[in-house]
Amino acid sequence: MSDLAEFHKKTAITARFDDWPENQTLLYVALGLANEAGEVAGAIKKAVRDDGGEITEQRRQEVTDEIGDVLWYAARLAELVGITLDDAVAANITKVRRRLANGTLSGSGGDR
């Protein structure tokens, strides 16, 4: 089992919404993921605002914690849509390699 797969499995232990309606859980988890991504951005914003863009040790710890929160929600969302974090990572690697080979790393749009 990969480290990511083990982490994915462990997130189920602390998920506390198993008895919620599925659509409510999906919305909650998607909003949680967006919220935690915002907390990562907020930590970087504060580094720019308060520390001239320097990532202090305290800020590094804050970003570490928030990225962990992002991964927790990503794992639960992956579970809800029937995939694993390993599936998402593999798909991303394939996509980025294709874009690199096609010279389309820059630009916009998902289908390039």
Q: Which residues bind Mg ion (CB under 5 A)?
A: 36, 39, 66, 69
**Which residues have C-beta within 8 Å of that of residue 47, sequence separation ≥ 6?**
53, 54, 55, 56, 59
Retrieve residue 73's tokens.
């929600």
CB of 36 to Mg ion, least distance (A): 5
Cβ distance to Mg ion smaller for residue 43 or 85: 43
Nearer to Mg ion, 14 or 102 (CB): 14
Q: How far is the CB of 69 from Mg ion (least distance, A)?
A: 4
Helix pair 57-80, 22-51: axis angle to 10 deg: 160
Q: Which of 40, 80 has the CB closer to Mg ion?
A: 40
Query: What would the two tokens of residue 56 be?
Result: 């202090």
Task: Write down the least CB distance from residue 39 to Mg ion, Å.
Answer: 4
